[in-house]
Amino acid sequence: KYYPPDFDPAKIPKLKLPKDRQYVVRLMAPFNMRCKTCGEYIYKGKKFNARKETVQNEAYLGLPIFRFYIKCTRCLAEITFKTDPENTDYTMEHGATRNFQAEKLLEEEEKRMQKEREEEELNNPEGSAASNIPTYPTQVLENRTKDSKLEMEVLENLQELKELNQRQANVDFEAMLKQYKELEEEQRRKEQE
């Protein structure tokens, strides 16, 4: 390219683009969903040409949140969802319903149970009042014994499975080597004959 000697890049006017500008991007559906207008199922991984915009006045730890607009494959109704960096996921906004997610519900249930257990341990301060020696709360001890019993059961089951696999896949390497040597000796005898 030719740049004349009097060229000044500072004189080039800058584009003033709006902050809520929308871009056209190609993306895959991040989860299974069902259109609210026609009932069409849209499966995870289906490709779409989507409009992407930055959500105004919303961020998580300095990360911008993006909103995506896609169209249903059957009725062309608009479906919107946005990023959820807090949970490393996406949240459905409108136009469709997100299908059942067993894994997510299971994780939430486990977190809730763990939280309840910790609160129960903290709110059960049973110590010996007669002596000044602090003792563990009974709930903490009960939970620890349950955990250790569960761990022992898991280890026993694992050991049983290992023994079962060893019994089923019992390979006698010595016999195999002996048989191979006998075959080799036979072949040598035949070659000599």
pLDDT digits over 103-140, tens only?
Answer: 778 888 889 988 888 887 777 655 444 444 444 567 77
pTM confidence score: 0.54
CA 69, CA 66: separation in Å to the nearest integer?
Answer: 10
For the chain, which ranges sit under pLDDT 50?
Answer: 127-135
User: For a pLDDT cut of 70, what percent of the chain falls above it?
Assistant: 92
CA 158, CA 186: separation in Å to the nearest integer?
Answer: 45
- Sheet of 89-94: strands edge to edge? 23-28, 47-60, 63-71, 78-84, 89-94
Q: Which pLDDT belongs to residue 93? A: 93
Q: Which pLDDT belongs to residue 136? A: 58
For tokens 């609160």, name the residue. 119
CA 103, CA 58: separation in Å to the nearest integer?
Answer: 28
User: 178 pairs with which residues across the strands?
Assistant: none
Q: Which pLDDT belongs to residue 104? A: 78
CA 42, CA 79: separation in Å to the nearest integer?
Answer: 11
